[in-house]
Chains A and B, each alone.
Chain A
Amino acid sequence: MSGLEISGIRVRFGHAEVLRGIDCRVAAGETVVLFGPSGAGKTTLLRAIAGVEPAASGVVRIDGREVQDLEPEHRPLGMAFQNFSLYPHLSAYENIASPLRARRLRTPEIEIKVRRVADLLRIDHVLGHLPRELSNGQKQRTALARALVAEPPVLLLDDPLRNVDAKLRYEMRLELPPLLRKTGAAVIFVTQDFREAMALADRVVVLREGAVLQDAPAEEVYGAPASVPVAQLFGDPPMNLLSARLVQEDNRVRAEAAGMAPGFPDLDITRMEAPLLGVRPEDVLLASPATGGAHAEILAVTPLHERCVLLLRAADGTELVASMAGAAPDPGTFVSIAGARHAVLFDPASGRRLAISDARTEVVA
């Protein structure tokens, strides 16, 4: 298989197991986003793949060849470090040229390649500068250029947009996917930002406490989180997790909570103590109180881009978050919860996903 394939990657620091056997495949030309909270082991996994983590064990294959026993300089990959890790005593040009010099390319060839990648990332005007003379955005792009310049078959990008300002981050989110696709490399992109994951990923791998929680396309991770922790991590504001009551109907089961009662046709259990109903804030259907439905008090309002986020207290006392387009209503007033557009049911004991709601909009009469 061309691309990157890892299996059974473990890292242990003393008694702490930081990675507990990670398996993952990234095809050539594919971008996999490694998503997870701080301390999940994302950076450690990249370091293990790059060969700069001495405590790592497991198998790393690049284009079918096992490389886990090779020194880092013999592994065909490029890496952009989260803290940039530019060489402070070398100019941006020499920083970018470093992988080419290591491959003993001739000077004119190096010049051409460095200029090309610098043009692409729009840092051609600062090539003569030392790293300390660059802005954070320029440092970040220099680090990215250094990872890209030798066109390695595997690219490891460790949260490269974390230290850049919001405007540049937005631009890079738009520019990076076509750029990465053009390289044809197998890309692992680390981030803690679910929007970045949605924007960049062909597939998302959710990592927590050194273990993979879910490995699926971004839409699936968002719409059908494999477990409660994934639902809590992926999304901002996070998914509502409400304690629900199961109601048996003719050919399906409904889960009722906070005025919503989505149906789950595939659910084969009918009795369970308080399963958790997961509903994304934007999937909470709101209506004006006059239309009936379950009334909920608006406790707080956060305007967010084109939408606003409401903290609600439903009639049964549960608090939940909803988001809506349009003008923000006043706190203290009431809305009506009309149903859920889409919902997920979780087992409260194991945290695992039980079922996904059917497509029909459920409105409680």
Chain B
Amino acid sequence: MREPITRILRGSALALILLFFLFPILWILLMSFQTNADILRIPPRLGFTPTLSNYVALLSGKLATSSGTLDITFLRNLGNSLLLSVASVAASLVLGVPAAYAFARYRFRLGESIAFTLLSFRFAPPLLVLLPLSLYFQILGLTDTYGGLIWVYQLITLPLILWIVRGYFEDASPDIEHAYRVDGHSWWRTFTRIAVPLARPGIAAAGLLAFIFAWNNFVFALVLASADKQPVTVGALAFVTAAGIQYGQIAAAIVLSILPTLALALYAQRWLVEGLSLGAVKG
């Protein structure tokens, strides 16, 4: 057994790292239960009377400020976020998983170039493409439509899924698929019954990551959609009001918008941890 001193050092180092990364989230959680006055008090105090007013305002859609009541569309934004992220990831999975399989298993003309081009979408700053894109969207009538946004979101989600899942397909032994073909199963059945199930941890990881990236996207929806199609990231701008910045509501909005990704991450964790090849091949 290791000496106790190393264990104590290791434990405190871990605690320090956790504190560093989780403190902002903890602080936001605390803020979401405080009024703006409590939050802005100098010096800040840990003792305060918790209030649910921030959450009530978000859920009721009525924001009372010193200069009157404002309508906020937070719940609609949340719904938009959910719709855009889920639909984008779903579309990327349908397109990206077969493409990843093709890139992993077959050598074809321009294969690497196509794969790299798809990845390069991740290098380009979004703002660079947004201006021409918004012009094209006007011509095509895609401005301010869910379909248009989901399409643009493929720039975020498709390369991620393609490249991560491709790696998982490449790691799996092609002989397992060959054996299934020799058994008498078609290419398609081999793909759906063998290749995809074996790459499931990778597909789950890639899907989760793509979901988080899509969820956190800000600039595409800001430029290409109007208020009723915008996700929470853009919707949070509404809390910067004429009567000041509503820190409490922002904090509550952040807490609520973290929840779906958190839930998804916890759910997908068991797929992520599950071993890839499960000892099929010798070794």
Contacts from A to B (Cβ < 8 Å): 47, 50-52, 71-75, 77-79, 81, 83-89, 98-99, 102-103, 130-132, 136, 139, 146, 150, 163
Contact = CB atoms under 8 A, between A and B. Distances in A.
Interface stretch (B11-19, B179-187, B203-211, B254-262): B179-187
Contacts of B279: 88, 131-132
A88 B198 contact: yes
5 contacts: A88-B176, A88-B277, A89-B278, A98-B183, A99-B184
Given A99-B183, A103-B184, A87 B282 contact: no
A102 B185 contact: yes
Interface string B241-254: 00000000000000
B280 interface: yes
Contacts of B197: 89
- Which residue, A51, A81, A88, A130, has most C-beta atoms of chain B within 10 A? A88
Given A83-B175, A87-B194, A163-B282, 15 more contacts: A47-B178, A52-B178, A52-B182, A71-B186, A72-B178, A73-B181, A73-B182, A81-B175, A84-B282, A86-B280, A87-B180, A88-B277, A88-B278, A98-B183, A150-B183
Contact of A85 (B173, B185, B278): B173
A61 B266 CA distance: 54
Contacts of B282: 83-84, 136, 139, 163
B281 interface: yes
B96 to A, nearest CB: 22
Contact size class for B?
Answer: 20 to 34
Nearest to A102: B184
Nearest to B200: A89
B280 A71 contact: no
A84 B277 CA distance: 13
A73 B183 CA distance: 6
B187 A71 contact: yes
Contact of A87 (B176, B182, B184, B186): B176
Interface in B179-235: 179-187, 194, 197-198
A79 B182 contact: yes
Contacts of A75: 182
Contacts of A150: 183-184
Residue among A47, A78, A84, A87 with the highest chain B CB neighbour number at 10 A: A87
B281 A83 contact: yes
Given A71-B187, A73-B186, A102-B183, A130 B178 contact: no
Contacts of A103: 184
A85 B179 contact: yes
Nearest to B190: A73
A150 B281 CA distance: 23
B270 to A, nearest CB: 15
A205 to B, nearest CB: 21
Contacts of B176: 85-88
A72 B186 CA distance: 9
Nearest to B172: A88
B185 to A, nearest CB: 5
A72 B280 contact: no
